[in-house]
Amino acid sequence: MLYKEPAPIKDRENPFESMMSRFNIAAEVLGLDEETYNVLKSPTRQVIVNVPVTMDDGKVRVFEGYRVVHSTILGPSKGGIRYAPDVFLDEVKALAAWMTWKCAVVDIPYGGAKGGIICDPYSMSAGEIERLTRAYTQSLVDIFGPDRDIPAPDMGTGPREMAWLMDEYSKTKGSTEHAVVTGKPLVLGGSLGRVEATGRGVMVSAMAAMEKLGMDPSNSTAVVQGFGNVGSWAAKLMAERGVKILGVSDVSGAYWNDNGIDIEEAIEYKNGNNGRLEGFKGAEQMDPDELLTTKVDVLVPAAVEDVITIHNVDKIQAKLIVEGANGPTSYKADKIINEKGIMVVPDILANSGGVTVSYFEWVQNRMGFKWTLDRVNERAERIMNESFERVYAASQKYNVPMRIAAYIVAIDKVAMTYKYRGGF
């Protein structure tokens, strides 16, 4: 139920600098003026809180937490809350900025934000996590709000924490405020289709890119790194469209089948095996590092950051990379990918199906009316396809890779809105 990414990250770049390097290229191509550049690169607000929590042993521990609002130019800021022992301010800043760009790419009326608390949720009791979540909410009650800043789950948090956050916020306001947070349990106003939304968006992006590259899905092969929420749904939905998924991996290892892995079977196995593929009989085990560099048509990194780096990018043979994870490609690897002519559907486009359906959850909460699953999927698919076309058109117009094109589309929209709204 918790959203977690347990594996260590090799060659990790400073995430904020990595984001800024791409931002700078796009800003230069666009000819962004200095004033707007300075506004867009600087987070609007960075809050550090220290929240005291009574632990189960009766002692009080103080936890450091963050909320960074990168931008509210397009609308209320939106972004998850991460509970992890190694969360740090630069990471939260980068993730907040990515949210601004992601929402702008898919053209939804949100700015970007992100939060985090330095803690190890896997060594804490449910009661401790609940008190921590409520204390953090109290300390940020003036920042959060359905029209101000709307949190969601991220690593180490899930529907349970969102329910506590919504309840604590509602108690303070004296009214039930469903729309203050997304990613809630269904019974509390969550949206149908949210769980699979990111993987579905990855599939839609993959299909759109394959069409541009003249690849026939039913004649194509793929590997998917990460078999959690995003990876398993992306693999399942791509397989349903005829793509042969030759390899998948998770923290337990990588698995390969020359005839294609039966994804339904793998998901069923994982669900009965504590979320892991370990011991899966429908495939042979292989070296997880080789999974990324093996000869397939499509590579879907859907696990953690910085897995495609200068150390392995030379060996990558896929024609298309669709980034399910946030930041799976290091900035330094971009250049070689471009030289090799590999098309990348970047994270801020490929995995934006999640925030799109979070937006639908907020819309439904505000209307007080639930949509059917078909309506959610149909609208999300339309938004993903339109966004893909916008980014593709920008890549053609400016003769830049899809990643820079996605930043261009996003920065252009936020900059234009900023100009119309006016500064100080």
Q: Is 354 in the site for ligand NAD (CB under 6 A)?
A: yes
For ligand NAD, which is the closer residue by CB, 4 or 131? 4
Q: Is 329 in the site for ligand NAD (CB under 6 A)?
A: no
76's tokens: 């209320």
Name the E strands within 185-319.
Answer: 221-225, 244-250, 253-256, 284-286, 298-301
Nearer to ligand NAD, 201 or 401 (CB): 201
What is the contact mask toward ligand NAD in residues 233 to 252, using x (rule: CB under 6 A)?
----------------xxx-
Burial class (CB in 10 A: 0-12, 13-18, 19+), 268: exposed
Smallest separation (angstroms) from ligand NAD to the CB of 215 = 23
Closest CA to 248 of 219, 274, 272, 269: 269
| 114 flagged as catalytic | yes
**Nearest-5° angle of CA 372, CA 373, CA 378?**
105
CB of 121 to ligand NAD, least distance (A): 13
Q: Shortest distance, CB of residue 102 to ligand NAD, whole angstroms? A: 8
Q: Which of 250, 255, 254 is nearest to 276 (CA)?
A: 250
Contact status, residue 93 vs residue 48, Cβ threshold 8 Å? no
Helix (H, G, I), strand (E, B) or coil at 175: coil
Asked if 4 is part of the footprint of ligand NAD (rule: CB under 6 A), the reply reads: yes
- Looking at the Cβ atoms of 132 and 292, the one nearer to ligand NAD is 292
344 three-state secondary structure: strand
Q: Is 304 in the site for ligand NAD (CB under 6 A)?
A: yes
Q: How far is the CB of 219 from ligand NAD (least distance, A)?
A: 27
> How many residues interact with ligand NAD (rule CB under 6 A)?
25
Q: By CB under 6 A, tell whether 206 contacts ligand NAD.
A: no
Give least dist CB 148 to ligand NAD, A: 22
SS3 74: coil
Residue choice 220, 351, 387, 395 for contact with ligand NAD (CB under 6 A): 351
Contact region with ligand NAD (CB under 6 A), list: 5-13, 68-76, 133-141, 337-345:
5-13
Tokens of 170: 């509602």
Using CB under 6 A as the binding rule, whether residue 101 contacts ligand NAD is answered as: no
Identify the helix (H) or strand (E) that includes residue 378: helix 373-398
> In sequence order, what are the beta bridge partners of 317?
none
The verdict on 83 binding ligand NAD (CB under 6 A) reads: no
Nearest residue relative to ligand NAD (C-beta): 228
- Residue 43 to residues 37, 84, 96, 97, 150, Cα–Cα distance (Å): 12, 22, 8, 8, 16
245 or 251: whose CB is closer to ligand NAD?
251
Catalytic residue among 78, 93, 102, 114: 114
Contact between 201 and ligand NAD by CB under 6 A: the answer reads: no
Name which position in 157, 191, 198, 330 contacts ligand NAD (CB under 6 A). Answer: 198
| Contact with ligand NAD (CB under 6 A) among 326, 329, 356, 377 | 326
Residue closer to ligand NAD (CB basis): 141 or 363: 363
Sheet arrangement for strand 149-153: 45-54, 60-71, 111-118, 77-84, 149-153
In angstroms, the CA 144 to CA 133 distance is: 13
For residue 110, give Cα distances in angstroms to 54, 102, 293, 422: 35, 9, 37, 18
Which residue ranges make up the site for ligand NAD (CB under 6 A)? 3-7, 198, 225-231, 249-251, 288, 302-304, 324-326, 351, 354
Residues serving a catalytic function are 114
